């Protein structure tokens, strides 16, 4: 995709009901602005018009290419501060055991989504709405 294509995509997704279609390495990808929480919108990624939750739960090609990765620590701030007094090796081992990662089918940032898509895919092509309308009529 060119710089102008990315600007077009970001502009389309900045509205409440924004939606774009991409062809990413032989996947038909739709990105739509959807309500995540009250008055908070996120960019939801659909593959061939759907998103199956098993893609986010199991390690697969779609999860690596299109899902946003997050980590969460079971320790609260007080416990993490107490760990600072311990040896580094022990501290790192506890943090590793008390942290888990999870994947979500949506993105809160267009910039982060764009960077992830570019890094994890070889071919990204924008399907413009004008081209879709020409083929229909």
Residue 32 has φ and ψ, to the nearest 5°, of: -130, 145
pLDDT in tens, 44-93: 999 999 988 888 888 889 999 999 999 999 999 999 899 999 999 999 99
C-alpha span between 134 and 114 (Å, rounded): 27
Say if 11 falls within a structural domain: yes
Say if 76 falls within a structural domain: no
Say if 39 falls within a structural domain: yes
C-alpha span between 4 and 9 (Å, rounded): 9
Q: Which residue range forms the structural domain that includes residue 22? A: 3-51+106-136
Residue 84 has φ and ψ, to the nearest 5°, of: -60, -25
Say if 34 falls within a structural domain: yes
Domain count, the chain: 1
9-38 mean pLDDT: 91
Distances (CA, A) of 62 to 32, 36, 67, 85, 126: 17, 21, 7, 41, 18
């Amino acid at each position: 995709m060119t710089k102008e294509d990315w600007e077009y995509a970001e502009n389309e997704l900045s509205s409440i009901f924004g939606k774009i279609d991409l062809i990413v390495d032989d996947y038909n990808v739709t990105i739509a602005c959807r309500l995540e929480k009250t008055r908070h919108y996120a960019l939801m990624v659909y593959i061939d018009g759907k998103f199956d939750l098993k893609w986010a739960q199991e390690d697969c090609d779609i999860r690596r290419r299109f899902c946003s990765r997050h980590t969460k620590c079971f320790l609260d701030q007080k416990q993490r501060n107490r760990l600072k007094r311990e040896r580094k090796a022990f501290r790192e081992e506890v943090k590793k055991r008390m942290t888990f990662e999870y994947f979500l089918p949506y993105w809160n940032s267009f910039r982060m989504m764009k960077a992830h898509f570019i890094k994890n895919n070889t071919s990204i092509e924008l399907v413009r709405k004008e081209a879709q309308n020409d083929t229909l009529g």
